[in-house]
Amino acid sequence: MGTILDRPEEGAVVNPKELHRKLMRTMKTLARCVAVKDCCREQTALCPNCYILPKRHSWLGRNVKELLLAALTCVLAFTAAAAGNPFVGTWEMNMMKSKLDAAAPKFQNRTIVYTAESSGLKAVVTTDGKAQTDVTYDGQQHAVTPASGLYTHETATAKDRTLETEFKKDGKVVGSRKNSLSADGRTMTVVLDLRQANGNMVHSVAVYDKR
């Protein structure tokens, strides 16, 4: 049986991300309904063309064009938002301009690749050729297992031209990170403050150039 998109109730509040996911999942089923004419009038059995219950299929048949247009609008809006996000792309750390704390881990190079996902902005950090961590800027707290073991949960939030991350361990805040863009959008400054195992705070300022 095809995936069904229930008719929303009057005045219902719709989550755009959830709507986008459901619409994309039902596009194929709805597309088959475009060619259906008389089957929507059947009320005694499953529609023989697309296997949708007649009670719901009747509504889908009458509104399929509007639904397909809404699905296309969601896809185009999401694509435009992704293209317009100034963080999306590949960033390489400028080791000469960066000022890393003496107690911070040593490495030769680091890159960050940002992509726009349906769940939010996603970052994949690669250090010395090895992908180490990925972060999703969705404003939700996530359990993580960094190699350092200095924190167990992080909450990453994306704003217009800044990214903010809060680190926690045992329910207590142990650090923060803020990524800020320059006026021309070609330089990103990352300020990290993180408590170490000995209780001392590490303060680093990393500068990234956009490729």
> The CATH number of the domain where 113 resides is what?
2.40.128.20
CA distance 158 to 117: 13
Q: Mean pLDDT score of the chain, rounded to an integer?
A: 77
> Sorting pLDDT into bands at 50, 70 and 90, what band is 42?
very low
**Mean pLDDT on 147-155:** 91
Domain final residue pick, 54, 84, 114:
84
Q: Which residue has the higher pLDDT, 8 or 138?
A: 138
**Are 108 and 150 in a shared domain?**
yes
Q: Are residues 107 and 177 in the same domain?
A: yes
Q: What is the pLDDT of residue 118?
A: 82
- Report residue 36's pLDDT band, with 50, 70 and 90 as the boundaries: very low
Q: Is residue 5 part of a domain?
A: no
Give the whole-angstrom CA distance, residue 123 versus residue 139. Answer: 14
**What integer pLDDT is reported at residue 146 of this predicted model?**
83
Q: Please return the burial class of 49, using the count of CB atoms within 10 Å of its CB with bins 0-12, 13-18 and 19+.
A: middle
Provide the pLDDT for residue 24: 64
**Are 191 and 178 in contact, with CB atoms under 8 Å apart?**
yes
Last residue of one domain, picked from the residues 25, 60, 84: 84
How many domains, the chain? 2
* Residue 76 shares a structural domain with residue 95: no
- pTM, 2 dp: 0.63
Q: Is 99 helix (H, G, I), strand (E, B) or coil?
A: strand
At residue 32, φ and ψ (nearest 5 deg) are -65, -30
- Average pLDDT of the residues in 108-113: 96
Q: Where are the alpha helices (DSSP H) in the chain?
A: 16-33, 54-84
Last residue of a domain, one of 31, 50, 84: 84
Kindly state the average pLDDT of the residues 84-107: 94
Q: Which whole number is the average pLDDT over 93-116?
A: 95
Asked if residue 126 and residue 170 are part of one domain, the reply reads yes
Please, which residues bridge with residue 28 across strands? none
Q: Is residue 142 part of a domain?
A: yes
Give mean pLDDT, residues 96-116.
95
* Residue listed under structure tokens 């361990």: 169
Q: Of the segments 23-37, 41-55, 78-92, 97-111, which one has the largest average pLDDT value?
A: 97-111
- From CA 74, how far away is CA 23, in angstroms rounded? 8
Dist CA 121 CA 55 (whole Å): 39
- Whole domain around residue 119: which residue ranges? 89-210
Q: What's the pLDDT band for 9 if we cut at 50, 70, 90?
A: very low
CA distance 165 to 52: 45
pLDDT over 70, % of the chain: 60
Verify that 121 and 140 share a domain, yes or no.
yes
Q: Which pLDDT score, from 0 to 100, does residue 77 have?
A: 53
Contact 169, 186 (CB under 8 A): no
Work out the average pLDDT over 40-44. 45
Distance CA 85, CA 65 (A): 30
| Domain-located, residue 6 | no
Same domain, 68 and 128: no
